[in-house]
Structure 1
């Protein structure tokens, strides 16, 4: 593992590289100013691969299709990988293509040190298609070719930003609706680990009736880069979009259906992760007599969603927008249990629906938004139904139900918000307030220990109808409410420099997985003491735009209570998330770029995060953990990247170097993993012809084949089997792709 001296040297080297490149660009550009500093009229839009949004005082970055084409992974679906180069964001995928779905609610993403709880974080067109659940959700539901932009807000977010929780910001995927001009697109890609992907889309264009539609389909498959199995074996996706213009009324609809099967990657223990020379390729075995057989550690899901955007313009300044959705997730995780021949199967069937209504208008020069978002989900995030199997004669034999339950109330959210923004010449003031209301579901738990024998190998509904209730594990519905205000201001010093400040309160998800604790004495008291995390923060930043360079520095500070932290509780001998932490975060981040010439641009990001506990943690079982003043686990202090884009007569070359600093693994601070550097390189050629546009790309991810620990996962799954929660990053991986547009 990396020594402290090497870690300090790496951080200094990163800072020197970034500071040198950016200060040189600024010194050459200081005498020339832009005509405008609005996002729609930048001096050199090609240089701003990560585009800070100048329309708000909040910290908001936009990643468009060109940025994804240059620096995103070739897997073609995961929106998390689209924002991996944004300051303050750490994305760690289990495979090079971003296609493998991590089991549980954590999918390998942190923002300013905050764990991003899957489902509760990302939205599509402002809609939260799933709750804080463990399945793949929307992550692989939409092909990247059908995405026009991915936005990510950090720190105090505006009240009108969608999503269930916002303590870690807000990630929103903007869809590519049907095109106005008829056309089509074909894409083919292949790479190491037998990666193969095909995509096709056909657009009708705007018809005489004012209608337009598109149909797309894709098929993706790859083998695991370590061990045996596929990840995914098959990912089959179909999307259908429709739009209709009827004067002031505009209707957009899209349906997406994604099916995928894949084998899971095996995590490493702390000792194994310390010896990657021997264990980098270690994975599940080929022994059918053991629970660690690769085919007993797999997942299978079908995700689908139907969503719409219906707007009516009463006047150019007064518009009402209605966005309904329905989503469903069906599938299961199968994985090794705590015994040598024990296999668990986690059954998942999530159904979600809801709608958002928003009225936007302008009065006395002030823009107002009034909206309400309602959504309902079932079941919640923790495991509610699980089967237990024993391996005998090379087969999985049903033993009993490990968990069996049913909902009495659905998991429901109501968010009402009001925002206002007014420009006073150089000064722009904005603010808003959001009323957050969450109703935790009521759950009836059944006596799973009395479900032994093959006769119980039935559906969860059938088993629950026969089983007896376990009152020690049953929990009642609860309603949690909070007020979340925010206030922002931006001031244009001149045509090149704008200052901004944004302050507000945000809310985080409650730690629902206390429901799965093996200690019955913890379940009901823990559930009844659940509180949402509350954080109050401030961002102070600037936007500097010169003729051939830009800088966006941001300083931030926040304090939170009821922090959901993954705590190893020695009294219970298990790790689970609890709302027991109080923390503070102090940091700095920088997005920058420099156009050396018309053909060469540099882009970079740097972030420093000091995220600490402000007091010791008292666990549900009464154990005190000595963590005051210590950095949160899995939060590096330093992260950064430096990239370039060189263009010449249709040719493009794009290298990117990323750095992630050392991290603690758990909150007992017994283990630390080293920092790492990873270099990616892509090269391509594109040409326009009389019939359309074609492009060809080749790339190498992890060019120098660095061995490192990427993802650290402590989530809803059991960590009792050797604490296998560390995952090595993928090795050097070569890929190629071609795309035809007509």
Structure 2
């Protein structure tokens, strides 16, 4: 970063500390800055330790995945310390219990907002939200209630984010951050307070920028968010929220397994700055503009019942550009949206709490992609080499009614429900691109190109199934409980389309159409069992859990020996099992400790065919990019208004391939967060922090892409180096 920026920020930190000494006897009440609560099936203990605004785990406030990565069985990898350019195969590098929830180009994401699936993939929806505008992040893995995890996929787990409503009183929060690699971020939120008639509102904005820590290029993102609430009466409330985001991202270059073996060199290897070369950094970027609007009409129909109607809409426009094999540059234009409505009715019948609901959701492609254009480098300019894909705009459609119930009697709590998933894949019409030049997607389709029937799936493919869940909890005394749970989850993979198009000549020679392969798509189903214990003492808590999961119709790369080509099919079975331990200890009011440990096994149940057609021995092998052991810990010690929090995270070895021929060593990473907080100078609170990420500058491998249909090979990226971030936040 620029030296002047860092010096100025450190000077402000010092000046603020001196001001605190001068006002030590101030009678102003201490203001506790808003926090993000991490809760749900996991994370209640974690929240008791982490600092204000979750800055201890995510100083940049740009990635929900960084906030929860201390929890057991959650593997989150990063190449960008700020979360701006953390992408692998067009999605986040994130796993629940070894399961990559968005693998196989599933167009759903792992994160919902207010229970709504308002972000999709691929595209720019990963970091369109400023986390300062959220008050709760609920995390579920494995078994989850029927009213949780709504959307196109919930295999592995789900994250649900709750928006922080407008404050009762007028307030302003301003936060300025600066850090290594010229990082800067400015955030401001204004709450109107109660304006009469039950009306309240807030508006926030942020601008973030960081240069890449290696190579050329930078990333920046500008976010806006608005929220209004109107309490018309005791029985009627209306809420509305809107988000706008625009991002310009230069990603890091993915490396081969041989390249990543020399870590010193890998930390220097990236895209070049020569526009005559196809791996020029200017040919590797993505730009996206996003809009999201959602509402909530709440009507109380009785003392113990209410109806919520939540309509939503999300629009995502932009493109990916990237160097691909064969000396080409590909541009993937994306213009898609999603919309839907969730109707939910909560009531109580006797001792039973009931939640009825229905979600209607429709989501435009991609994925699968609607258009790919390939370019060649001529001199220092790009020349169209042809359209790799041109197909129609079509949509996924989901109908999802559900019911969830709770009944308590004595020391027993019974929870259970079921949701019905009716999911229809989009039709795909592939066009003949002969004679179509370097024009926009709309202009290309407007030319009325002919449909190539053998490359198309004019008939849709639908899935319908019930997904139950049940949890039995037994209280043991006042401070302990044990629970036994079962639940089923789902995902559908759609990445067969680009495989088929790239190998069309071979399929066509054997009279195999895309419609045939589309009709063979199956929904991957996971059946999850869980046994857990929660114990609480006067100053400690511990939660051990064991789980077992059966995955049917899991996707794997299938080699057809008759064709001599490979493509993904849902023809495998896999098993996951493991142990989780989460604990908290507070020996004094000044010292808080949190730790988690997990042992996760996720592997195929049988041998599968390799890309060469040979039957390979993979039965029992851990899935790629899934560490078997993880251990994480935080110690937070407070002296007056000053808090020091060291963080340590250990991840065991991983593999970049299912045959375990590409081994990646485990790594231990350490962070350190220094925070000073005080009500002073007329502000409700002033928060100053200094965070050190990867404190000892450990060199290690972070992101692994093992389902990369760009090259059909695994690719790797090194982890973010030592990074310093300083911030000052004032709350008025």
1:441 to 418, 421, 426: 426
TM-score normalized with structure 1 length: 0.88
Name the counterpart of 2:246: 259
Q: Alpha-carbon deviation of 1:136?
A: 2.6
Name the counterpart of 2:114: 125
Q: Alpha-carbon deviation of 1:298?
A: 0.5
Q: Does the CA-based 8 Å contact 1:61-1:86 persist in structure 2? A: no
Please say if 1:472 is aligned against 2:449.
Answer: no
1:684 to 654, 675, 680: 675
Q: Does the CA-based 8 Å contact 2:556-2:569 persist in structure 1? A: yes
CA deviation vs aligned residue, 1:212-233 (integer Å, no higher than 9, x gap)? 1111111100000111100x1x
After superposition, residues 198-347 of structure 1 pair within 5 angstroms as 198-230=186-218, 232=219, 234-247=220-233, 248-340=235-327, 342-347=328-333
2:359 to 366, 369, 373: 373
Name the counterpart of 1:711: 703
Name the counterpart of 1:144: 131
What stretches of structure 1 of length at least 5 have no aligned partner? 1-44
Please say if 1:735 is aligned against 2:690.
Answer: no
- After superposition, the Cα gap between the structure-2 partners of 1:619 and 1:253, relative to the gap in structure 1 and judged at 3 Å, is farther
Q: Alpha-carbon deviation of 1:566?
A: 5.8
Name the counterpart of 2:13: none
Q: Does the CA-based 8 Å contact 2:635-2:645 persist in structure 1? A: yes
After superposition, residues 337-736 of structure 1 pair within 5 angstroms as 337-340=324-327, 342-407=328-393, 409-448=394-433, 450-451=434-435, 455-463=437-445, 465-475=447-457, 476-517=459-500, 518-520=502-504, 521=507, 523-565=514-556, 577-618=568-609, 624-689=615-680, 690-715=682-707, 717-719=709-711, 723=713, 725-736=715-726
Q: Does the CA-based 8 Å contact 2:45-2:584 persist in structure 1? A: no
Cα distance between partner residues in 2 of 1:574 and 1:263: 33
CA deviation vs aligned residue, 1:394-419 (integer Å, no higher than 9, x gap)? 01122221110003x42111111111
Q: Does the CA-based 8 Å contact 2:37-2:137 persist in structure 1? A: no
Name the counterpart of 2:92: 107
CA deviation vs aligned residue, 1:371-411 (integer Å, no higher than 9, x gap)? 0011101114222201111111201122221110003x421
- After superposition, the Cα gap between the structure-2 partners of 1:726 and 1:332, relative to the gap in structure 1 and judged at 3 Å, is same
Secondary structure at 1:135's aligned position in 2? coil
CA deviation vs aligned residue, 1:70-112 (integer Å, no higher than 9, x gap)? 5322222221111111111011122011111415443110010
Secondary structure at 2:367's aligned position in 1? coil
Cα distance between partner residues in 2 of 1:555 and 1:68: 31
- After superposition, the Cα gap between the structure-2 partners of 1:338 and 1:559, relative to the gap in structure 1 and judged at 3 Å, is same
**Aligned-residue CA RMSD (Å):** 2.4
CA deviation vs aligned residue, 1:262-318 (integer Å, no higher than 9, x gap)? 111101100111110222221011121111001000100001100112211112310
Please say if 1:69 is aligned against 2:54.
Answer: yes
Q: Alpha-carbon deviation of 1:260?
A: 0.7
Q: Alpha-carbon deviation of 1:471?
A: 1.5
Q: Does the CA-based 8 Å contact 2:37-2:136 persist in structure 1? A: no
Please say if 1:183 is aligned against 2:171.
Answer: yes
- After superposition, the Cα gap between the structure-2 partners of 1:588 and 1:205, relative to the gap in structure 1 and judged at 3 Å, is same
Q: Does the CA-based 8 Å contact 2:475-2:482 persist in structure 1? A: yes
Cα distance between partner residues in 1 of 2:531 and 2:714: 40
Q: Does the CA-based 8 Å contact 2:479-2:535 persist in structure 1? A: yes
- After superposition, the Cα gap between the structure-2 partners of 1:296 and 1:221, relative to the gap in structure 1 and judged at 3 Å, is same
Q: Alpha-carbon deviation of 1:528?
A: 1.4
Q: Does the CA-based 8 Å contact 1:178-1:203 persist in structure 2? A: yes
TM-score normalized with structure 2 length: 0.89
Secondary structure at 2:100's aligned position in 1? strand
Cα distance between partner residues in 2 of 1:128 and 1:62: 27
- After superposition, the Cα gap between the structure-2 partners of 1:62 and 1:213, relative to the gap in structure 1 and judged at 3 Å, is farther
1:78 to 63, 71, 76: 63
Name the counterpart of 2:123: 135
Cα distance between partner residues in 1 of 2:562 and 2:217: 37
CA deviation vs aligned residue, 1:693-739 (integer Å, no higher than 9, x gap)? 1111001100011111111113455025xx46101101000110000
Q: Does the CA-based 8 Å contact 1:309-1:321 persist in structure 2? A: yes
**Alignment: residue pair count:** 682
Cα distance between partner residues in 2 of 1:257 and 1:570: 49
- After superposition, the Cα gap between the structure-2 partners of 1:425 and 1:60, relative to the gap in structure 1 and judged at 3 Å, is farther
What stretches of structure 2 of length at least 5 have no aligned partner? 1-31
Secondary structure at 2:127's aligned position in 1? coil
Q: Does the CA-based 8 Å contact 1:682-1:699 persist in structure 2? A: yes
Bigger CA drift: 455-464 or 576-585? 455-464
Cα distance between partner residues in 2 of 1:559 and 1:49: 33
Cα distance between partner residues in 1 of 2:66 and 2:251: 19
Cα distance between partner residues in 2 of 1:307 and 1:62: 31
CA deviation vs aligned residue, 1:665-705 (integer Å, no higher than 9, x gap)? 11233211010000010101000134311111001100011
CA deviation vs aligned residue, 1:195-239 (integer Å, no higher than 9, x gap)? 000011111001112111111111100000111100x1x311111
- After superposition, the Cα gap between the structure-2 partners of 1:246 and 1:158, relative to the gap in structure 1 and judged at 3 Å, is same
Secondary structure at 2:543's aligned position in 1? strand
Q: Does the CA-based 8 Å contact 1:513-1:576 persist in structure 2? A: yes
